[in-house]
Amino acid sequence: MDPIRIAVVGLGKIARDQHLPAIAGNAAFSLAATVSPHDPGREGVAHFASLGDLLYGGPAIDAVALCTPPQVRYDLAALALKRGVHVFLEKPPGATLSEVVALRERADKVGVTLFAAWHSRFAAGVAPARAWLAERTIQKVSIVWREDVRVWHPGQAWIWEPGGLGVFDPGINALSILTHILPRPVFLEDAALSIPENRAAPIAAELRFRDTAGADIHMDLDWRQTGPQSWNITVETDAGTLKLSSGGAVLTLPGGTEHNEDLEYPGLYSRFANLIRGGRSDVDIDPLRLVADAFLRGRRESVEPFND
Ligand code: NAP
């Protein structure tokens, strides 16, 4: 079978760290081109300053991976779908819910694959956590997602703009895991968003959710964490406590702890290839909907200015 000719759009941090190596390591794909307005590209790979230049004047491609900030993703995805090209959307899949729904409808109509990727769902501990929790009664959940924004997002102006999500940019990873491992739907009860007075997006948030059986879910998001970082989800059940730590990579069950190799992006690209070969899409908007609910229902408090 011929490899899927893919272009990576937006050669920023995640494209360099994860997408390019994952594509290079998967024989189902061949890197046909890159697109980025201010990057010179990679030696030996056709490079374009805009997706339009590639789609209307470059080599033939079958798929694109959109690794740009979410605010520009809809127009890029719509353009690719118009040309019959399969689309991989980095998380979050868009800047609004309705644009993602519109893309999903468009992809179905055109008959190509749209994949809204949630990389944290491919962390090693997540699938076994989901299987273990399927048989349990959930009593209480605690999410602590605290990291240092200066370490992980230096100089990323877009992340503080409307649609950039602020601390929900990492926080939505926890929500993508939560909505995947809990057996029942979850909804927001109350949220407090702390927004620096010189920025448009929150630097911290405290949220309370409930599942449809009444289990209490507390979430603590903070970008002001220095020293040790925390990406932990703890679930108390009728059969003991489950803990996912290191962003889902490490799973602790009452019987012991499992550490496994990080295969998030290789897992995403295997899934994308399977979706394309099977003529299917995978667009789950649940994590983005919970974030939208937090912005809809959350109380906002102004906190001290943040400067990089
Ligand atoms: P980033 O370092 O700021 O990179 C984004 C890149 O997008 C920039 O390099 C920019 O290219 C490019 N870009 C902007 N507008 C474009 C357009 N219209 N066409 C083509 N390229 C465009 O951001 P990032 O950290 O990689 O994050 C990108 C996305 O991946 C975000 O949604 C984020 O949530 C997600 N993500 C990030 C991480 C992470 O660890 N950083 C992890 C998982 C997922 P130029 O520099 O050439 O202008």
Closest-CA residue, ligand 1 atom 8, reads 12
Structure tokens at 114: 């749209």
Same structural domain, 109 and 227:
no
Same structural domain, 53 and 93:
yes
Task: Determine the distance separating the centroid of ligand 1 and the alpha carbon of 190, expressed in angstroms.
Answer: 31
Same structural domain, 190 and 97:
no
With beta carbons less than 8 A apart as the criterion, state whether 33 and 46 touch.
yes
The reply to whether 133 falls in a domain is yes
| CATH code for the domain of 46 | 3.40.50.720
Domain total for the chain? Answer: 2
Q: Please work out whether the CB of residue 12 comes within 6 Å of at least one atom of ligand 1.
A: yes
Same structural domain, 241 and 126:
yes
State the Cα–Cα distance between residues 153 and 159, nearest whole angstrom: 8
> Domain ends where: 57, 92, 116?
116
> Domain ends where: 116, 139, 174?
116
Select from 173, 167, 189 the least CA-distant residue to 232: 173
Predicted TM-score (pTM) of this structure: 0.97
Structure tokens at 260: 């496994």
Same structural domain, 91 and 135:
no
- Looking from the CA of residue 72, the nearest atom of ligand 1 is 18
Task: Determine the distance separating the centroid of ligand 1 and the alpha carbon of 191, expressed in angstroms.
Answer: 28
pLDDT reported for residue 1 = 87
Same structural domain, 126 and 234:
yes
With beta carbons less than 8 A apart as the criterion, state whether 267 and 127 touch.
no
Same structural domain, 126 and 110:
no
Nearest-Å Rg of the Cα atoms of the chain is 20
Same structural domain, 109 and 163:
no
What is the full per-residue pLDDT of the chain (308 aa) written as tens digits?
899 999 999 999 999 999 999 999 999 999 999 999 999 999 999 999 999 999 999 999 999 999 999 999 999 999 999 999 999 999 999 999 999 999 999 999 999 999 999 999 999 999 999 999 998 999 999 999 999 999 999 999 999 999 999 999 999 999 999 999 999 999 999 999 999 999 999 999 999 999 999 999 999 999 999 999 999 999 999 999 999 999 999 999 999 987 777 899 999 999 999 999 999 999 999 999 999 999 999 999 999 999 98
Find where tokens 């490490």 sit: 250
Same structural domain, 152 and 94:
no
> Domain ends where: 85, 116, 147?
116
> φ and ψ at 51, to 5 degrees?
-65, -35
State the Cα–Cα distance between residues 174 and 233, nearest whole angstrom: 8
Domain that holds residue 228: 122-260+292-303
Q: What amino acid positions are annotated as catalytic residues?
A: 91
Q: Please work out whether the CB of residue 11 comes within 6 Å of at least one atom of ligand 1.
A: yes
Same structural domain, 132 and 213:
yes
